[in-house]
Every structure is written in structure tokens, then in C-alpha cells.
Structure 1
Amino acid sequence: MSHLSAERPAPGFPAEDVARFQEFFYRRTGIQFGQAKRYFLDRRLQERIEATGSPSLRAYLLALRFEDANGAEFQQLINAMTVNETYFYREEYQFRCLSRELMPTLAKLRPGERLRIWSLPCSTGEEAYSIALHLSENWPDLETIEVEITGSDIDTRVLAEARQGVYDARAVQNLPAPVLERHFEASSPGKWRISRAMREALAFSTVNLADAAAMRAHRGRYDVIFCRNLLIYFDDPSRRQAAETLYDSLRPGGFLCLGHSESMSRMSALFTVRKCADAIVYQRPLA
């Protein structure tokens, strides 16, 4: 997570221009910035305005709308506006639930079939790699059942880091020592790189959950989706749309795992609530 200097004053953008930008960004990503995030928003906007040589926020927004044909600058903006902070085995109880209950249930439901797991957002890779690590250490059937794990994020910068798989001490601090020894190697002082086998076993892709047209490619594809601590940045209409999109992305009988502070009961009635021994999950009904 980046920390901005409090000594540097925030730019004084006209309120109406900020409102236009917030509406534009919200429509494209589903993400809203409240007043508490105003300093962060203004500083990151100023950085992109300076980087592109735009004379004002209004000019920058016009360029995004009408001149950014390939979306390259909008992607740079997304990378600047998204905050990615995570670590391995965060909220480990959900991984225990995956290994002990969800995967055995799905293996019986779909005998002989490949099982697909989606981590969205995956940030710098810890989210998706944690799934792979926990299954490899705790689910014996992984030796005989094919499992495909994909990590996706809206931020292309963190996806590049995920593919490299290099992490500092804070990121790996919750990993048991045997797991760290088996699956990582020291790459430099205070840095560990996850094994080549793990890096090659996972796929990473750019995904915008709020882009309904692009999300159609994922319809009915996954058996388990981890979507943790993303929807807290959405408002109620965006959450409802995201819930429907996640529902559509699951195969019948598949499971959705949200963050500990998120509850599907306030977003959608499509899912069946499943109270497992280690976690509460949300299932797409079989029928």
C-alpha cells in the first residue's frame, strides 16, 4: 500500500469537475470515492494529470472520454486508484473451508471433471497462490483431481507482480515454516519467490467486474469464486449487479466466498447461504 506525504497539499479541483470524474469512474468500474477518500482521489488524479500533460481535470476527463481510444490511460488511472494490500493465508479459515468441505463436495458433485477456482481480485498474487498452497498442503485428492486456478484483477500492475511471484517478509509472515520452505526460495535479502511449479500452475488475467459485457466470457465457468473485500468499495446498485455477475459466473452448485465484513444477504437473494464448520459461504443452487 502506498503512503502519501501529508505535507504536500492536495490540489484544489473544482467541485463540479470532481463530481463529473467520480460519476465517470463509477460507471466504468462500480467504485465510488466518498469524502473520506477525497485527499487520496485528488492526489492520484493530480499525478495522472501531470503525467499526461493535461492542463486541468476537465481536460483530462475529456481526453479519457474521447481520445483514449485503446484505453491505455484509463488503465493507468485504474492502477493509480486501486489500493492493493494483502498477504498469504489472510482469513485462513476460508481456505480451511475450501479444503475440508467445498472441494470434497464439488468432487462428488462432478466426478472426473476439472474443478475451476477463481480469485477476484487477486492483487499481487497472494490471494490466488494461497488457494493453491492450501490445497496442495491439505487436500489429498489434488493428486488425482484436476484443479484450475485463475487470479484476476482490474490493476495490470499488480498482475505483473503476481506473475513474478516475489514477496517480502510481511506477505509471508502467516505461512507455516514448512510451507515456506517447500514452496519458496530466497530471491534476495528479505525477499522470497514462490516456486516455478506454483507460478506455472496458475493463470492471471485482467478483469473488470463492473464490465457486464466482458464478464459474459466467464458465465457458468467456475466452481468456486473468492471475491473478498472488493464489494465494500461499491454502492448498493453496483453490489447487486456484481452479485448477479458472480452468480452467473458460477456453475450450478458452485460456491462464492466473500470477505469477513461482507454479506450476500444485503445484496442478493439468488444464493443459498451455507454455514460450514469454518466459514459461511454462498452457493448457487443446483436447480
Structure 2
Amino acid sequence: MTSAALAPMSGNSLLSDGGPALGDSEFAAIARIMMAEARIHLPPTKKVLVHSRLSRRLRDNGLKSFKDYIDFAQRDAEELRLLVTALTTNHTHFFRESHHFDHLRDVLMPQLQRDPARAPVRMWSAGCSSGEEVYTLAMTLLGTDRAQSEWMRGRDVRLLATDISEPVVRAAAEGFYAESITEGVPEAYRRAWMVREGAGYRMADTARALVSAKVLNLFGDWPMKQRYDAIFCRNVMIYFDDTAKSELEARLVDMLKPGGFLYIGHSERLIGPAAERMRSRGNTIYQRTDGAS
């Protein structure tokens, strides 16, 4: 890439393909919107990405400049939601960072199975994207064959999947994945809990029945009243500044049962009050060790 390609452009100029350019002032305005709506930090290095993802929104609305688009989005709540959705990164795959699911299977599940009170089991995939994570959770709990899922018979087990993006939440609820997406699923799990459908696989009814997929802004109000045995919030906090990370992590810890586990991404860490209430139990695996409400 030449240095000229990185030079600031006027918001009224056009690119060589005839599309409107994204000026520095317009990018700054979009960055402020993302911070206000989703606490997502957009550094200047994301300018090309922002231009690419929002250019279609300009075309769909018949607008000729990013300034006009920003003015429109700030007046229209639905377009504001679509702006945030367009700039939300959704990248995931089945059994990503598999050591987390090994820990779930080998450490947490035996604890749940030994619970004499047979208390409800609650787990949350926060920032679920298109659902691969929450269905990996479901398959891990169910095991590789029907016999291994017997411990769940008569047990109240529910998995919550949330994301700020409505399209990916719909995809999670549908539970259908192209064959290429399922290549990382071990064959025993795929055979037990996936059903061939056309050019891909749909999650079996038993797995889908465990999952409830909802739109949720992690920095908005949380309607959930129960606490969780495990929360997966992985590769989400990399998009936030330290203030937002500290706030979110503290709220996540509050939502854990005493002794519950928080799983975060490989490049993430606990900071602020959350770090004082948790103990490391493995690579990016933390357990709530205080009993405070």
C-alpha cells in the first residue's frame, strides 16, 4: 500500500470507483456513535474497514456522502441499529480455544453431576455471534452419544446466547451451518447432535432445545435474574477500552454463582474489581471465589 492510500480524504470527495470517501471528521463522528451505542473503540486504523462496511448503507439509502448518512442515522433509530450491526465483528467457529471446553467437560461438568440438589444449570454465551460457541457448549454437555447425556434427564439445563447483532442472533436460533463451517466439529459430536440438511447441517432438536438466543447490548440493561455456572465472553472485550472492560467484567462476575467460571479470549485479561474476586484456574479460565451478592 502506498503512502498516498493512507492520506486523509475530504468527506465530499469521491473514490476512484465513484463512491463517497470517508473523511476524518466523519470517521470521528462514527467512532463516537460506536462508543456511545456499544462502547466499541474504533481507532483510526479501522477507517478502511468502516468505509467498506458502511458504503452499502449509503447506497441502500440513496445517500451521496458519509456526512448525510451520519445525519440520517442519528435521526432514525432503526438505521442507527443497522450502523452498529454493520460495524460489529462476528468471527467464530466450533470448538474455538478448545481447552475451555476440555475444562468444562473435565472440571465443571463433574461438579454439576455430583450436585445432590440437582440445581438448575445455567450457562451464558455473551457475544455469541452466529451460535457456534453456544452449540459447542451444548454438545460438550450432551457428550458424544445419547448415553452420556443421561445425567441431564429431568434436569433444568438452559444455555443463553446473546449478541448485539440481530442477524447473527437469528442465525444462532436457526442452528443451521454450511458443511465447511462444521469441519472442525469432531465426528462423534457431529454424528450425535447434527442432522444433515441440504448443503449443511442443522443442530439436532435436543441441542437446540437447550439454547435461547436473544439480542442484548452488553452495556445496556440485563433482564436476566438468575446466576450462571459458566459464562463465556471470549474475544469480545478486545474491542473495548480499559474503562469499558473493567465495567463489563465486574458485571459478568456479579452474574456468576459463587464458584462459577468465566472463560475469556486468549488475548484478554481481567482488570479492576473483577480481578480481585476471581482466581485463575487455567489459561484464560477464572473462578469466582467470593460469595458476595
TM value normalised by structure 1: 0.85
Deviations along 1:231-283, one digit per CA (max 9) or x if unpaired, are: 0111111111111221222233322110122111478434322325x763242
Question: Which ranges of structure 2 fall in alignment gaps of 5 or more residues?
Answer: 1-15
Q: What secondary structure, in the 3-state scheme, does the structure 2 residue paired with 1:31 have?
A: coil
* Equivalent pairs, count: 273
Q: Give 1:41's aligned residue.
A: 50
Deviations 1:69-89 (A, max 9, x none): xx3222222221122121111
Percent of paired sites with the same residue: 28
Measured after TM superposition, the shift of residue 108 of structure 1 is: 5.7
What is the CA-CA distance between 1:161 and the residue it aligns to?
1.3
- Select 1:281's aligned residue among 254, 267, 286: 286
Q: 1:186 to 1:33 in 2, by over 3 A?
A: same
Task: Name the structure 1 match of 2:78.
Answer: 72
Change in Cα spacing, 1:187 to 1:240, as seen in structure 2 (3 Å) is: same
Say whether the 8 Å CA contact 1:125–1:165 is kept in structure 2: yes
Could you tell me how far apart the structure 2 residues matched to 1:284 and 1:137 are? 28
Residue 31 of structure 1 contacts residue 233 of structure 1 at CA under 8 Å; is this kept in 2? Answer: yes
Q: Give the Å deviation of 1:98.
A: 1.1
Higher radius of gyration, 1 or 2: 2
Give the CA RMSD over aligned residues: 2.5
Alignment partners' CA distance in 2, 1:219 and 1:8: 51
Which residue type is aligned with residue 161 of structure 2? G
Counterpart position of 2:4: none
Q: What TM-score do you get using the length of structure 2 for normalisation?
A: 0.83
Q: Which residue of 2 aligns with 1:247?
A: 253
Task: Say if 1:196 and 1:72 are closer, same or farther in 2 by CA, change over 3 A.
Answer: same
| 2:6 corresponding residue in structure 1 | none
Equivalent residue, structure 2, for 1:63: 72
The separation in 2 between residues aligned to 1:58 and 1:152, in whole angstroms, is 32
For 1:14 and 1:44, the matched residues in 2 are separated by 15
AA partner of residue 34 (structure 1): P
Deviation at 1:41, TM superposition (A): 0.5
SS of residue matched to 2:209? helix
For the structure 1 residues 218 and 45, does the alpha-carbon distance in structure 2 shift closer, same or farther, using more than 3 Å as the test? same
Q: Return 5+ residue gaps in structure 1 as ranges.
A: 1-6
Change (3 A) 1:193 1:50: same
Matched residue of 2:231: which SS?
strand
Q: Which has the higher contact order (CA 8 A, sep 6+)?
A: 1
Which amino acid letter does the alignment assign opposite residue 259 of structure 1?
Answer: G
Residue 233 (structure 1) aligned with residue 233 (structure 2): no
Q: In 1, Cα distance between the equivalents of 2:79 and 2:116?
A: 43
Deviation at 1:123, TM superposition (A): 1.0
Amino acid at match of 2:260: G
